[in-house]
Structure 1
Amino acid sequence: MTGMQADLLGKTILVVEDNEISASYFRAALSKLGASSIFARDGGEAIQLFRENKQIDLVLMDLNMPGMNGFEATKMIKSIRPEVPVIAQSAYILSGEEKRSKEAGCDEFLAKPIRLNILVEVLHRYLIN
Structure 2
Amino acid sequence: MENNEIKGNVSEGRTVLVAEDVESNFLLLKAIIGKMYNLLHAWNGKEAVEIYEQFQPDLILMDIKMPEMDGLEATRIIRKVSQEIPIIALTAFAFDDDRVKALEAGCNDYLTKPLSAPLLKETIAKYLV
- What is the TM-score when the length of structure 1 is the normalising length? 0.89
User: The residue matched to 1:37 in structure 2 has which SS?
Assistant: strand
SS at match of 1:113: coil
Matched with 1:79 is 80
Runs of 4 or more, structure 1, over 2 Å off, are: none
Q: Secondary structure at the match of 2:18?
A: strand
CA distance in 2, matches of 1:117, 1:44: 29
- Aligned pairs for 1:28-43 within 5 A: 28-33=31-36, 35-43=37-45
Contact 2:58-2:85 at 8 Å conserved across structures: yes
Distance in 2 of aligned mates of 1:7 and 1:125: 10
The corresponding residue for 2:3 is none
Matching residue of 1:67? 68
CA positional deviation for 1:95: 6.7
Aligned equivalent of 1:12, options 12, 15, 22: 15
- State the identity %: 35
Could you tell me whether the CA contact under 8 Å between 1:9 and 1:36 is conserved in 2? no
How much does 1:7 deviate? Answer: 4.9
Residue 66 of structure 1 and its aligned partner are, at CA, apart by: 1.1
Name the structure 2 match of 1:123: 124
The equivalent residue for 2:4 is: none
Where 2:60 maps in the other structure, the secondary structure is strand
Deviates more, 1:116-125 or 1:21-30: 21-30
Task: Name structure 1 gaps, 5 residues minimum.
Answer: 1-5
Match of 2:5 in 1: none
Q: Which runs of 5+ in 2 are unaligned?
A: 1-8
What is the RMSD of the two structures over their aligned residues, measured on CA atoms? 1.3
Preserved contact between residue 101 and residue 109 of structure 1 (Cα < 8 Å): yes
Which one-letter code corresponds to 1:44 in the other structure?
Answer: K
Does the CA-based 8 Å contact 2:17-2:41 persist in structure 1? Answer: yes
Count of residue pairs the alignment pairs up: 121
